[in-house]
Chains A and B, each alone.
Chain A
Amino acid sequence: MIIKSNKTIPASEITDPQLFKQRRAIIKAMLATVATGSGMGSAMANGNVISKNLVIDNAAGSHALASTPKQLVTEYTNYYEFTFNKEDASNLAKNLLIDPWAVEISGEIEAPVTLHLEDLLSQQVLQDYIYRFRCVEGWSMVVPWVGFSLAGLLKQVRPLSSAHFVKFTSVYQPESMPAQKKNLMLDWPYVEALRIDEAMHPLTILAVGMYGDSLPKQNGAPIRLVVPWKYGFKSIKAIVKIELLKRAPLTSWNKYAPKEYGFYANVNPAVPHPRWSQNSERLLGSNFFSSRRKTELFNGYGEQVAALYRNMDLEHFF
Chain B
Amino acid sequence: MSFRSLSLWQIIFLVCLLPLVWLLFDMGFDNLGGNPIQALHIRLGDWSLRFLCITLAITPVQTMTHWRGMTEFRQLFGMYTFFYASLHVLAYLTVDNALVWPIIGMDILQSSYIWFGIIAYVLIFLMGISTPKAAKKRLGKSWKKLHRFIYIAACAAILHYFWQLKGNLAQPVFYLLLIGFLLLFRVLVWLKDRQLARMFIPKSTK
A contacts, CB < 8 Å to B: 71-73, 75-76, 80, 84-87, 136-137, 139, 185-186, 256-257, 272, 274-280, 282, 284, 288-292, 294
Contact = CB atoms under 8 A, between A and B. Distances in A.
B204 interface: no
Contacts of A87: 33-34
Interface stretch (B105-113, B121-129, B190-198): B105-113
Interface residues of B, number: 28
17 contacts: A71-B34, A73-B34, A76-B33, A84-B168, A85-B168, A86-B35, A87-B34, A272-B110, A275-B111, A276-B112, A276-B114, A277-B107, A280-B103, A284-B34, A288-B36, A291-B98, A292-B103
B71 interface: no
A277 B112 CA distance: 9
B27 interface: yes
B33 to A, nearest CB: 6
Contacts of A85: 168
B163 interface: yes
Interface of B: 27, 33-38, 40, 94-98, 100, 103, 106-107, 109-114, 163-164, 166-168
Contacts of A84: 167-168
A291 B100 contact: yes
Contacts of B168: 84-85, 185
Secondary structure dominating the interface of A: loop
Contact of A291 (B103, B163, B166): B103
A185 B167 contact: yes
A212 to B, nearest CB: 20
B23 to A, nearest CB: 12
Contacts of A294: 103
A80 B113 CA distance: 22
Given A276-B113, A277-B111, A292 B36 contact: no
A278 B36 CA distance: 20
B98 A289 contact: yes
A84 B168 CA distance: 6
Contacts of A256: 167
A282 B33 contact: no
Nearest to A73: B34
B111 A276 contact: yes
Given A73-B34, A87-B33, A280-B103, 4 more contacts: A80-B167, A279-B107, A282-B38, A292-B96
B157 to A, nearest CB: 16
A259 to B, nearest CB: 13
Contacts of B38: 139, 282
Given A84-B167, A282-B96, A291-B98, A276 B110 contact: yes
Report the 7 A-B pairs with minimum CB-CB distance, sorted nearest first: A76-B34, A277-B110, A84-B168, A272-B110, A291-B98, A276-B111, A279-B106
Contact of B35 (A139, A276, A291): A139
A277 B106 contact: yes
Contacts of B114: 276
A165 to B, nearest CB: 24
A278 B107 CA distance: 8
Contact of B95 (A136, A277, A288): A288
A75 B100 CA distance: 29
A271 to B, nearest CB: 10
Nearest to B167: A185
A282 B38 CA distance: 9
B47 to A, nearest CB: 18
A169 to B, nearest CB: 20
A8 B97 CA distance: 54
